[in-house]
Amino acid sequence: MKEHTRSFNGFIHSLIESLPYGIMVLDHDDRIQELNRNFSFIFNINIADVKGKNYKEVIESKFVQVFSNLIEDTKVKGFVMDRQISVPILGGVEITIALSSSALKDKDNNFYGLTIICREMTATRELERMRELDKLKSDFISSVSHDLKTPLTSIIGYTDILMQLAKEKSLSEESDYLKIIMQEAMRFARMIDDIINMAKIESGKLQLKKELVSLKEIVEEVIKIVIVQAEKFKFIVNFDNSIPLLLIDKAQMKRVFLNLVSNAIKYSPQGGEIRIDGYTKGDNVYVDVIDHGIGMSEEALSHMFEKFYRVESDATKGITGTGLGLAITKGIVEAHGGTIVVRSKLGEGSTFSVIFPLTMKKSI
């Protein structure tokens, strides 16, 4: 029995030592029963021979009142959460420590001690600061993008009117200039849409209007849009009949496949065949967008879904874009509970696979 008790006490001691926080355990008379190395480092305590001593004998005098208040509050309330103090460490640098405590009681609810936990808050506060900055950035980008979109809509509208007038009056040169203005305005509008959508995804404000939809129908609609400007491409759409309707946002999913098919076109400058295959495997639905274009290196693959990332090479010099398309695509797919992966080989082409769980066929 004694051997078992020693073994258990050794286990508890090892457990407390392994925790990434400072731990001090006191009995009902405020005597130290356990104190790990993290706690001793934070409060500059010589860990040797502290067991059985009152905490006031080992804690620096300037912290005694802090701990005294914490202990008294714990005895009254049962616990204390994240009471923050500043503690100087090596080199005079101060760090913020959060002190929490919990009363220890037996099965009859009798108090017999308490545990004090201290954790370093600098990293937590920095993370909170970064999150706040990221939110401010997203809000700012969204606000500015909306402000830019309003006058841009007017520019596009009036340019369209001028193009109609130029056509009626057979002003070919003026008509050509207006076409350039319209093309650039539309490109700018797409950039703004991309920025707004990325901000929504990052802030968790992307709203999905889900309905049971056929992925094949979405892909076929996308092909009808792109085929007008992709005459040198052959599109092959092959979907298994086993694919069920899935509960998705049709408009957002259309954006996903429009991005993927447009990318396949852009990065296949010689034309050729683009395949979109849909099938089930295991518990998932797969849609593969396959091209035989310029492909990507291993280095490019590792950054493919990062914001603003663009492949820089002689083969991609004339390819325009914001570098947000694939990041948005990934965000939309993941918001639906799916995943997207890419396989590619330089000079041989790429395959983007959108994967959804079959459980998405169920209604909510």
Residue-level pLDDT, tens digit, the chain, 364 residues: 555 455 656 677 788 888 888 899 999 999 999 998 889 888 888 888 888 999 999 998 889 999 999 999 999 888 998 888 888 876 667 788 889 999 998 888 888 999 999 988 765 565 566 667 666 666 666 676 667 767 777 888 878 888 888 888 777 787 888 888 887 777 777 777 777 777 777 777 778 888 999 999 999 999 998 887 777 888 999 999 889 999 999 999 999 999 999 888 888 877 788 999 999 998 899 999 999 888 887 887 878 888 776 666 555 555 555 677 888 899 999 989 999 999 988 888 899 999 999 887 654 3
Distance of CA 209 to the CA centre of its chain: 21
Do residues 160 and 182 touch, judged by C-beta distance below 8 A? yes
Residues of the chain with CATH 1.10.287: 126-203
Residues of the chain with CATH 3.30.450.20: 2-120
CATH 2.30.29 fits 126-203, yes or no: no
Type of residue found at 10: G
Query: Which residue carries 């004339």 as its tokens?
Result: 318
d(CA 276, CA 268): 15
Query: Which residue carries 């001028």 as its tokens?
Result: 162
pLDDT of residue 128: 65
* Of the candidates 123, 82, 119, 80, the residue with the CA atom closest to the CA atom of residue 103: 80
Do residues 100 and 82 touch, judged by C-beta distance below 8 A? yes
d(CA 95, CA 85): 8
- Please provide residue 70's backbone torsions phi and psi, each rounded to the nearest 5 degrees: -60, -45
* Of the candidates 350, 233, 232, 227, the residue with the CA atom closest to the CA atom of residue 293: 350
d(CA 119, CA 42): 9
Type of residue found at 237: V
pLDDT of residue 123: 59
Type of residue found at 282: G
Q: What kind of fold does domain 210-361 have according to CATH?
A: Heat Shock Protein 90 (3.30.565)
Q: Which CATH number fits domain 2-120: 3.40.50.300, 3.90.660.10, 3.30.450.20, 3.30.70.3340?
A: 3.30.450.20
pLDDT of residue 363: 40
Query: Which residue carries 């355990």 as its tokens?
Result: 25
Do residues 226 and 294 touch, judged by C-beta distance below 8 A? no
Residues of the chain with CATH 3.30.565.10: 210-361
* Of the candidates 136, 134, 96, the residue with the CA atom closest to the CA atom of residue 118: 96
Which long-range contacts link 57-64 to residues 24+ away (Cβ below 8 Å)? 58/32, 63/87
